[in-house]
Amino acid sequence: MVERLSDSQVEQGLARLADWQMVEGRSAICRQYRFENFNQAFGFMTRSALIAEKTNHHPEWFNVYNRVDVTLSTHDVGGLSELDFKLAEAMDKIAS
Ligand code: H2B
């Protein structure tokens, strides 16, 4: 069973993710990715989707052309869990 992280655990998690921040008014983290074109953005989304399915943990995201805005939160616990930080790290690796 996945557990909701404490505020200090969230702080520690965010300290390791340079480009992510808290969503205002919500227990969720977000990052905006920018790519060269739609092909690269969609490739990133496709690879991320495969990981999301494998781990059964899914992003909230919004894509326009080369831009992908991602929000991560664990709906089952009503906040952030280690699954969000693992997925954020995996998405950063895919994008890099
Ligand atoms: N994704 C995210 N981000 N949070 C969840 O709590 C979650 C999920 N729960 N993907 C999973 C699916 C759950 O709803 C299903 C039933 O396993």
Average pLDDT over residues 1-7: 96
Give the DSSP letter string of 14-63: HHT-TT-EEPTTSS-EEEEEE-SSHHHHHHHHHHHHHHHHHHT---EEEE
pLDDT at 1 over 90: no
Element (H, E) at 67: strand 67-72
- Residue pair 74/83 in contact (Cβ under 8 Å)? The answer is yes
pLDDT at 81 over 90: yes
What is the pLDDT, as a whole number, of residue 72? 99
pLDDT tens for 21-75 read 999 999 999 999 999 999 999 999 999 999 999 999 999 999 999 999 999 999 9
pTM of the model: 0.97
CA of 55 to the centre of ligand 1 (A): 9
Q: In the structure, which protein residues have their CB atom closer than 6 angstroms to any atom of ligand 1?
A: 56-58, 74-76
